[in-house]
Structure 1
Amino acid sequence: MSPFQLTRTLPEDATDAALRADVLHGLSRTPKTLPPKWFYDARGSELFEEITALPEYYPTRAEREILLARADEIAAATGARTLIELGSGSSEKTRHLLDALPGMEAYVPVDVSGSALSAAADALLAERPALSVHALIADFTRELTLPRTPGPRLVVFLGGTIGNLLPTERAAFLRAVRERLEPGDALLLGTDLVKDESVLVPAYDDRSGVTAAFNKNVLSVIDRELGADFDPAAFDHVAVWDSENEWIEMRLRANRALTVKIPELDLVVHFDAGEEMRTEVSAKFRQDGVRSELSAAGLELRHWWTDTEGRFALSLSAPPARR
């Protein structure tokens, strides 16, 4: 395998088609919704990087703390020779695992952004010229074909991103991951944990307004890509804790009655004053719940690590050993 390969498994027009389908579906229903993946154009990605450095936003720091403290244990437990990262982005946190896995031969980052994959690969190969990088432009929530790489393989899904999936979506995702695991492979999963509302809500509604700008950026994406006339100033950022479902919801609330035209979809959307549109769910977890969801997908929880304040967890799971 050459040091760097980039494979596209998404059709060239897949992103545009998915955006059209999601906006048409989400804005034609009651209550209105938009999926969070559309936050992440170039500007949205910049804003999210700012969010991760905010004092209120603990998940990135907590997960990094666990990776630094437990990378050697993860390496010992898996003996992985291939690291597969779903939603890899800049691959920054992955470096801690690569440093701790001396037998690592191949890295397979999976992301929808080809430019992000290429930039991350260039940075990694400058530091690790012997590493083979086979990047996949793919949507990991859909059918995913992985390249042939040396085993054992460690699949990682970090950042608490699994919390952005609704329960039925999580179940389907975990089953799909399980189907791709061979004997000896494992899954390293990052999950944000249930904690007091006074800690959770500020993490999604910071005083400096960066998260509000990030939330409203989805409207700018729709304006640019679909010719819509959303006015971000007509919406207020809202973050609420749903104690029944144990998740944070981010919403955009219309601060006046308005009508939005989306010419590319031949769609006209009316908002009443005070009407809210959900843009993200961020579920929080408990150990027993994670164990149960993994088990339902055919995975066995082997290790559970948290940061020192118990805010975030990394879990290592694998298919049950054959008896």
Structure 2
Amino acid sequence: MAKHPSTAPAKSAQDTLTNDVLDGLKKEPKELSPVWFYDELGSFLFDNICELPEYYITRTELQIMHGHANEMAQYIGPDAALIEFGSGTSLKTRLLLDRLESPLAYVPVDISREHLFAAAGALAKDYPHLHIVPVCADFTQNFELPNFIRAAERRIVYFPGSTLGNFDRAQARALLARMRDLVGKNGAVLIGIDLRKDPRVLERAYDDAAGVTAEFNINALRHVNRELGADFDLDAFDHLAVWVENESRIEMHLVSRKDQTVHLGGEKVRIGRGEHLRTEYCHKYTLESFNELAATAGLAVKRVWMDPNKQFSVQLLEPVRLQ
């Protein structure tokens, strides 16, 4: 699970968003983008999920950062420009910034302008001597960095939180290749990767006993109803988390309790009783499978840090040097 901030659409963007939702609902199985999780309520629910006993991901990555950030900083070295993809609140980044030797700059990259500049402002107060350069952009697309950042001798892309797992293999390879191009031959990528484990652990993490994740999933429909004028019946869906072995991923679904018709953008979408609407998937890797994926993007794994139970990893990647 990863955070994809979104804001209420302007009218000019509303038709595009409506068409995107309709396109997803016409797929087999039906799909709804996880960007719809994150209105104000969704962000609140996600923060609560991160505190749940079943949801190991956030606390385990923080445990790794607390235990190994000093060593990570040594691998990164002095005078580096740290570029964070999907920076959000930059919580984990602080553990790294506290240990880096004379960093050149910190560049948070996020699509949500309001959250981006609020987080950058908070960091600026706590790190008054650090050059903070927020960039509002979609990190899955090409974007421009300030010239002095591109000229830095050592550029590091930081991508915590296992967000790479939300992309299919082709998308993940393309994103890693974009990171490789951004850091250049002397740079590196520091990335959080969730690891394969007992599917029962994963299913509990994405379907907690308190029902917070279920409400988070249903809230995507509430968000679409409010912003796009749809009429999903929120009480007519059940939350489901399922492990898909052949894809090595956990999926979140909404399952229709009845035959129903949803109206959106002047169209009718029929959803049968028992039909699934997939809202998110999260790939889980072995060390070997992620090593292979990174290699296809021209990156080599140089160092891996894990928690004692080997549930999660933070990995340092460097561009493959051609002979």
Q: Which moved more, 1:20-29 or 1:305-314?
A: 20-29
Pair 1:260-2:259 in alignment = no
Task: Please tell me the residue identity of whatever aligns with 1:198.
Answer: R
Aligned to 2:161: 159
| Alpha carbons 1:156, 1:188 under 8 Å: kept | yes
The separation in 2 between residues aligned to 1:156 and 1:267, in whole angstroms, is 42
Aligned to 1:93: 92
TM-score (ref. length: structure 2): 0.92
The separation in 1 between residues aligned to 2:13 and 2:63, in whole angstroms, is 34
Secondary structure in structure 2 of the residue aligned to 1:100: coil
Aligned to 1:134: 133
The separation in 2 between residues aligned to 1:167 and 1:22, in whole angstroms, is 22
Q: Which moved more, 1:49-58 or 1:143-152?
A: 143-152
Q: CA deviation at 1:210?
A: 0.7
CA RMSD for the aligned pairs?
A: 1.8
Aligned to 2:104: 105
Aligned to 1:201: 203
Q: Which moved more, 1:220-229 or 1:18-27?
A: 18-27
TM-score (ref. length: structure 1): 0.92
The separation in 1 between residues aligned to 2:37 and 2:123, in whole angstroms, is 26
What stretches of structure 2 of length at least 5 have no aligned partner? 1-8
| Alpha carbons 1:36, 1:164 under 8 Å: kept | no
The separation in 2 between residues aligned to 1:300 and 1:24, in whole angstroms, is 40
| Alpha carbons 1:19, 1:38 under 8 Å: kept | no
Q: CA deviation at 1:129?
A: 0.9
What stretches of structure 1 of length at least 5 have no aligned partner? 1-10
Aligned to 2:235: 233
Q: Deviations over 1:212-236 (max 9, x none)?
A: 1111111112112211111221111
Task: Please tell me the residue identity of whatever aligns with 1:146.
Answer: L
Aligned to 1:42: 40
Secondary structure in structure 2 of the residue aligned to 1:133: coil
Task: Please tell me the residue identity of whatever aligns with 1:187.
Answer: V
The separation in 2 between residues aligned to 1:126 and 1:207, in whole angstroms, is 39
Task: Please tell me the residue identity of whatever aligns with 1:69.
Answer: G
Task: Please tell me the residue identity of whatever aligns with 1:102.
Answer: E
Q: Deviations over 1:42-63 (max 9, x none)?
A: 2211111100000000010111
Label 1:175 to 1:226 Cα distance change in 2 as closer, same or farther (>3 A). same
The separation in 1 between residues aligned to 2:230 and 2:236, in whole angstroms, is 14
Aligned length: 311
Label 1:204 to 1:189 Cα distance change in 2 as closer, same or farther (>3 A). same
Counterpart selection for 2:194 from 172, 192, 195 = 192
Q: Deviations over 1:70-128 (max 9, x none)?
A: 11111111115211111111111110010010221311111111111122112111111
Pair 1:64-2:66 in alignment = no
The separation in 1 between residues aligned to 2:57 and 2:237, in whole angstroms, is 26
Aligned to 1:125: 124
The separation in 1 between residues aligned to 2:13 and 2:166, in whole angstroms, is 19
The separation in 2 between residues aligned to 1:252 and 1:128, in whole angstroms, is 43
